[in-house]
């Protein structure tokens, strides 16, 4: 009955704008194929540098969803 | 030849009864779609509290199986 | 408005019976003075041994509640 | 004499806007009752997802203050 | 004089019944040869799965005792 | 536009020869079904022992690939 | 009955003399308001430097006490 | 030939504006003396608080570059 | 019945040749006095350098065996 | 030939005086039965508190020695 | 007197051949400018994948040397 | 303006006397070439043993300073 089971997958989002945008893009992409994503947890924050500036923010995150 | 490759996935089981039951329910659910699950490892133990009592035990675990 | 702030405290419960009971006792004790405990997370599991048997299960946990 | 003692508490802030706002809200809430908060350290960054978008940014942090 | 020295060893207990039983069996086995075991700390919780059910609970623990 | 999203999965490769071979076999197996694997990171190195010799090298790794 | 519940708080002591003194000062300060402190565990050791010398030893510790 | 060697250094950037700005400032400063910075990884996020508000965001990061 | 108890010990092997050889030598040495070693897990990989070359590979590992 | 194998054991020393003394006492005790101890590494620092003062410093350490 | 001070730096070596070669290349490169490197410790092992094969082994390590 | 950037380096100090002295010696040595060291954080505490006594205390620490 009411006991739920969740699965979590690990994604890395990338953005030229901000850490929040990198996370949001990863979640948006995953939600194209997995419905009902429910939570995320950041596991690392990295980025690429070009010419002394951050070119891409890269945030890795676990994303959880309920198994139907 | 005989060298095997395994994949592991991360699940969170939930139970009103015990930590063992939360783990068992996660494994039972996963075995509906993945055959030949072989091992698990607990990664975190949490829960929800209602009225000063544990309402749900929530155990996250990695579950491994052999790639065919 | 709808944004909530939580505080978590760290407790260690002790039980002669089981790990679940050690957790439940810690939560019951804390709920005498803090209302509306919402979640917990286990941080370590230890115990005392007497005569080759587990005399007490000691489980440390973070317990979270909403700041009013 | 001049040696100071600090205490730290653990909070989780929540925001619909950004990670920085979640942190700032947690600190603003805590400063209603604890004077002279001095530093914070982020311990985890999570969030809730609704309809493929981040609904709430949830940042846990330790916050330190001087014991009078 | 009254200062004590302890040694800790690492064991893995196994049980078909529960996590507590896996711990208790490891401690019972170790107490056959080491007297005066005093404390334990769980370091990992794993298990073997057969046919979609937990076949064995395997709990690793450090166990401490006083050097005579 | 140019912002990419990656997914990572966790595998364990096994080899009678070396740690590098265990990693290579896991990657070769995964590339049968997932195209465009791009990076890996070792998470643990273990093995089985028979008759005082390493019988199998078992290396766990995260493997990342771009979501189409 | 005889099962005890403990709470732990996190402090940072500071001393111009030694790491032991920083710990002792934190515990002395906390014992002004919390009776029956029972144990501590060091979580980090830091310090401030002035003119190439350690000006303050700063030790963070968890301190545990029994809930009445 | 084509095998590259990288060095990484650890920096802490500080900003009154945001976590991203603290990172960008650290990278901009380092690029004054080290050419061809290529990547970064956040190792901790802290800050100073004044009057119940975040006065400075302080982000520590490893920054990598190719050895010529 | 059939429930087994394992003990693990920590060793550091050393080799002028490779990481695998350092592991194999540690296991060969331990098997002179402990029968039925069953598994190992690498805990750290270090080494000594002489004249800009690796002189010794030093691998620390936990090695497990069944208690008779 | 010249390749050495080391074993490490885990001890906890206790002292009323200092952290260094707790370490030294653990090593002195172990050297009564194990010859040629070569190195140690601190794994945790704890203590007991009585009447608002540190009653015992308890330091856990790994101690390594060469297998003959 | 006689007390030595060491500095450690963090490098990432890269090789098409093996993990040992990636480490050796990083150390060889560093020894061009830093004399008397004495020890290393591996901090992570990663790699790039091309066409389902490991194209580069990338090993990060801390390398220590004595300050003159 | 007011935003500062810091760099941290990792050192290991050695002393025959105490852990505090090992830290102080490392900082004294580093301050010969780097001005304005501001803080340190201990990352590991080890030592060499000779004849059942601690011959050298070896403390590794990160030391931070402001980039001019």
Burial class (CB in 10 A: 0-12, 13-18, 19+), K16: middle
B67 and F CB contact within 8 Å: yes
Question: Band of the pLDDT at K68, cuts 50, 70, 90?
Answer: confident
pLDDT digits (tens, 9 = 90+) for D21-54: 999 999 999 999 998 999 999 999 999 999 999 9
Q: In whole angstroms, give the CA distance from residue G41 to residue I9.
A: 26
Is F40 inside a domain boundary? yes
Sign of the CA dihedral E31, E37, E42, E43?
Answer: negative
pLDDT digits (tens, 9 = 90+) for G47-66: 999 999 999 999 999 999 99
What is the nearest CA distance from H38 to chain A, expressed in angstroms?
Answer: 5
What pLDDT is stored for residue E1 in this prediction? 37
pLDDT digits (tens, 9 = 90+) for L12-67: 999 999 999 999 999 999 999 998 999 999 999 999 999 999 999 999 999 999 99
Quick check: J11 and J65 in contact, CB under 8 A? no
Residue L14 belongs to domain with CATH number: 3.30.1660.10
What pLDDT is stored for residue J64 in this prediction? 98
Tokens representing L47 are 């030592």
Chains B and A touch each other (3 or more Cβ pairs < 8 A): yes
Identify the domain containing residue J50 by its residue range. Answer: 6-66
pLDDT for residue D1 is more than 90: no
What is the nearest CA distance from H53 to chain A, expressed in angstroms?
Answer: 21
Tokens representing K8 are 């450690």
Residue to substitute from D3, D8, D34, interface G, most G β-carbons within 10 A: D3
Phi, psi of G43 (to 5 degrees): -110, -25
D57 interaction partners in chain A (CB closer than 8 Å): 20
pLDDT for residue F2 is more than 90: no
pLDDT for residue E58 is more than 50: yes
What pLDDT is stored for residue G60 in this prediction? 98
A7 and H CB contact within 8 Å: no
What pLDDT is stored for residue F68 in this prediction? 80
K54 interaction partners in chain F (CB closer than 8 Å): 20, 23-24, 27, 40
Sign of the CA dihedral K51, K52, K54, K58?
Answer: positive
Task: Calculate Rg over the CA atoms of chain F.
Answer: 14
A2 and B CB contact within 8 Å: yes
Which of J2, J4, J7 lies at the smallest CB-CB distance from I9? J7
pLDDT for residue K17 is more than 60: yes
Provide the whole-model pTM.
Answer: 0.96
K3 interaction partners in chain L (CB closer than 8 Å): 13-16, 22, 25, 56
E62 interaction partners in chain J (CB closer than 8 Å): 10
What pLDDT is stored for residue H2 in this prediction? 46
Say whether J5 and I12 touch across the interface (CB within 8 A).
Answer: yes
K30 interaction partners in chain H (CB closer than 8 Å): 5, 67
What is the nearest CA distance from D49 to chain H, expressed in angstroms?
Answer: 22
Is D33 inside a domain boundary? yes
What is the nearest CA distance from I61 to chain E, expressed in angstroms?
Answer: 13
K62 interaction partners in chain L (CB closer than 8 Å): 10
Question: Band of the pLDDT at D2, cuts 50, 70, 90?
Answer: very low
C10 and B CB contact within 8 Å: no
Chains touching C, CB cut-off 8 Å, 3+ pairs: B, D, E, G
Tokens representing L37 are 């060291």
What pLDDT is stored for residue A10 in this prediction? 98
Chains A and I touch each other (3 or more Cβ pairs < 8 A): no
What pLDDT is stored for residue B68 in this prediction? 80
Say whether D29 and C5 touch across the interface (CB within 8 A).
Answer: yes
Q: In whole angstroms, give the CA distance from residue K56 to residue K46.
A: 9
Say whether G13 and D3 touch across the interface (CB within 8 A).
Answer: yes
What is the nearest CA distance from L50 to chain H, expressed in angstroms?
Answer: 35
Phi, psi of F30 (to 5 degrees): -65, -30
What pLDDT is stored for residue J1 in this prediction? 37
Say whether H54 and D23 touch across the interface (CB within 8 A).
Answer: yes
L38 interaction partners in chain H (CB closer than 8 Å): none
Which of L18, L45, L51 lies at the smallest CB-CB distance from J42? L45
Quick check: L20 and L42 in contact, CB under 8 A? no
Residue to substitute from J9, J42, J43, J65, interface L, most L β-carbons within 10 A: J42
Tell me K32's DSSP state: T
Q: Which residue of F has its CA nearest to A28?
A: F5
D54 and H CB contact within 8 Å: no
pLDDT for residue G3 is more than 70: no
Element (H, E) at L28: helix L19-30
Say whether I12 and J6 touch across the interface (CB within 8 A).
Answer: yes
Chains L and G touch each other (3 or more Cβ pairs < 8 A): yes
What is the nearest CA distance from D49 to chain A, expressed in angstroms?
Answer: 5
pLDDT digits (tens, 9 = 90+) for A27-59: 999 999 998 999 999 999 999 999 999 999 999
pLDDT digits (tens, 9 = 90+) for K18-58: 999 999 999 999 999 998 999 999 999 999 999 999 999 99
Share of chain F above pLDDT 70, in %: 96
Give the count of beta carbons closer than 10 Å to the beta carbon of residue H28: 16
Q: In whole angstroms, give the CA distance from residue G59 to residue L20.
A: 12
Is C1 inside a domain boundary? no
Is L1 inside a domain boundary? no
Share of chain H above pLDDT 70, in %: 96
I55 and F CB contact within 8 Å: no
What pLDDT is stored for residue E3 in this prediction? 66
What pLDDT is stored for residue I2 in this prediction? 46
From the list F1, F23, F28, F2, the residue with the least C-alpha distance to F12 is F23
Which of J9, J10, J14 lies at the smallest CB-CB distance from E4? J14
What is the nearest CA distance from H24 to chain L, expressed in angstroms?
Answer: 11
Share of chain D above pLDDT 90, in %: 93
Mean pLDDT, to the nearest integer, of B35-56?
97
Say whether L5 and H16 touch across the interface (CB within 8 A).
Answer: no
Mean pLDDT, to the nearest integer, of F20-45?
97
I9 interaction partners in chain E (CB closer than 8 Å): 10
What pLDDT is stored for residue C68 in this prediction? 80
Torsion of Cα atoms, I51 then I53 then I55 then I57, to 10°: 150
Better pLDDT: I22 or A1: I22
Say whether I54 and K24 touch across the interface (CB within 8 A).
Answer: yes
Q: Residues in chain H with pLDDT < 50? A: 1-2
Quick check: G62 and J66 in contact, CB under 8 A? no
L38 and K CB contact within 8 Å: no
Chains K and I touch each other (3 or more Cβ pairs < 8 A): yes
What pLDDT is stored for residue J3 in this prediction? 66
From the list E45, E46, E28, E25, the residue with the least C-alpha distance to E37 is E28
H7 and K CB contact within 8 Å: yes
pLDDT digits (tens, 9 = 90+) for J27-48: 999 999 998 999 999 999 999 9
Burial class (CB in 10 A: 0-12, 13-18, 19+), D25: buried
Question: In D1-68, where does DSSP find H-type helix?
Answer: 19-30
Q: In whole angstroms, give the CA distance from residue L62 to residue L27.
A: 10
Tokens 């956040």 sit on residue: H42
Is G1 inside a domain boundary? no
Phi, psi of K2 (to 5 degrees): 35, 0
Which of J19, J45, J52 lies at the smallest CB-CB distance from G37? J52
Q: How many domains does chain K have?
A: 1
pLDDT digits (tens, 9 = 90+) for H2-20: 469 999 999 999 999 999 9
pLDDT for residue C1 is more than 90: no
Query: ipTM of the assembly?
Result: 0.96
Question: Band of the pLDDT at L68, cuts 50, 70, 90?
Answer: confident
For β-strands K6-15 and L6-15, DSSP reports them as: antiparallel
What is the nearest CA distance from J33 to chain L, expressed in angstroms?
Answer: 10
Share of chain B above pLDDT 90, in %: 93
Residue to substitute from G14, G15, G52, interface L, most L β-carbons within 10 A: G52
pLDDT for residue A1 is more than 60: no
Question: Band of the pLDDT at K1, cuts 50, 70, 90?
Answer: very low
Q: Which residue of H has its CA nearest to A58?
A: H41
Element (H, E) at J50: strand J37-50
């Amino acid at each position: 009955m009411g006991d739920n089971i969740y699965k979590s997958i690990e994604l890395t989002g990338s953005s030229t704008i901000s850490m929040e945008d990198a996370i949001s893009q990863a979640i948006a992409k995953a939600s194209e194929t997995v419905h009902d994503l429910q939570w995320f947890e950041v596991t690392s924050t990295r980025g690429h540098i070009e010419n002394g500036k951050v070119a891409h923010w890269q945030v890795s995150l676990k994303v959880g969803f309920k198994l139907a």
